[in-house]
Structure 1
């Protein structure tokens, strides 16, 4: 990925989809293969892929953790396009009210968080910082509508209650996971991270890009 300070240059902050991509233990890994080759068809190569909707950089819909929750096509696409702020919370073990109060969040609607976990798309982390209920409530108080993190989840990896997911949804905050932010400076950016229009889906991969403003 070519990270640059050129204000006209879009920066790709998505994990690359390939067969080395780390996936949630027990979930379907990403794979791609040719169904038909140009030699076979006489005109084109045609490929197919298999993957979890939570592979790589992706959006979680509330249906992921609530049977009556909104699905991907129920979400407002405007949430995933617009001004975002990249912040560094790598010295904090939790994304809670105390950590968030260290930031200047006035006017911020989309918050992209760098953690201490290295952005290694081929290695699934053992422990991650996570969002607490008071952190989610504080974000709502500040007017935030989207949180993006550079780890696979907004909850501890062994959590079954998923308090962070539920608290964010209850506070009207959408969830974007597995961003690649290690080489991105803190500051304000334009963000595009549109989920695919996958009806009935509990999540969707995205191509997340940012541009400094």
Structure 2
């Protein structure tokens, strides 16, 4: 019997966000109260890359499609699981790792990269030298025709790389310039035990933005 696994981080006031000026903190403010307005309602302020979220090509590509233009068929369907749960702080996911994991990549594939790094969420370690994908490995994935990559990492890029304000993010660029849709900040990936699952990854349909928090479920 199949079961659903929720890979989505909970959004809440004070949650960690990437330590940069273009990643605002989360503000959740109640504006409607049962005892006063006879209804609950909230104002929610967050960045487009808060928690579990999807990157569209527009995140890095000047004329790339935006989050509302991503076909749902790209982000819903069968996904192959690449298990790198043996990788730890600062480890590279290399071309030989991708080739040696025993999963044949084919055109139209969706991938889930599983490392277990989400276990560091809420600590200073989470943003300190996460496992990352080398350029050769990323290029191999896009050359195989993969259309979607979801990962339990804050970024596929080298955390020690020079990717700050005004700088390129080379691994993002490899994926997004080829139209590959990315999901980052998955949680609970170690609950995935099957080599292939059905993934459902859907952001809100917000016009013209580069990314947005997404609910991500898998069925195995």
Would you say same fold, with TM above 0.5? Answer: yes
Deviation at 1:58, TM superposition (A): 0.4
What RMSD over aligned residues (CA atoms) do the two structures have, in Å?
2.0
Question: Which segments of 5 or more consecutive residues in structure 1 lack a partner in the other structure?
Answer: 1-5
CA offsets, 1:25-74, max 9 Å, x none?
132122222111122223x1111111111111001112222232221112
Residues 145 and 18 (structure 1), Cα distance of their counterparts in 2 relative to 1, 3 Å cut: same
CA contact (8 A) 1:61 1:70 kept: yes
CA contact (8 A) 2:24 2:47 kept: yes
CA contact (8 A) 1:16 1:121 kept: no
- The SS at the match of 1:204 is strand
Distance 2:214 2:192 in 1: 18
Distance 1:48 1:164 in 2: 34
Distance 1:83 1:17 in 2: 26
- The SS at the match of 1:33 is strand
- The SS at the match of 2:203 is coil
Q: Structure 1 runs of 4+ off > 6 angstroms?
A: none
Stretch of structure 1 that moved more, 115-124 or 18-27: 115-124
Which residue in the other structure is 1:19 paired with?
Answer: 13
CA offsets, 1:62-110, max 9 Å, x none?
2222232221112222111001122212345223321100123336611
Corresponding residue to 1:95 among 93, 96, 105? 93
CA contact (8 A) 1:117 1:125 kept: no
1:185 and 2:193 are equivalent in the alignment:
yes
CA contact (8 A) 1:87 1:186 kept: no
Which residue in the other structure is 1:164 paired with?
Answer: 171
Which residue in the other structure is 1:3 paired with?
Answer: none
> Given the two structures, how large is their TM-score scaled by the length of structure 2?
0.84
Corresponding residue to 2:66 among 62, 71, 74? 71
CA contact (8 A) 1:57 1:179 kept: yes
Deviation at 1:136, TM superposition (A): 2.2
1:81 and 2:96 are equivalent in the alignment:
no
Distance 1:30 1:22 in 2: 9
1:41 and 2:43 are equivalent in the alignment:
no
> Given the two structures, how large is their TM-score scaled by the length of structure 1?
0.87
Stretch of structure 1 that moved more, 170-179 or 155-164: 155-164
Aligned length: 205
Question: Which segments of 5 or more consecutive residues in structure 2 lack a partner in the other structure?
Answer: none
CA contact (8 A) 1:32 1:47 kept: yes
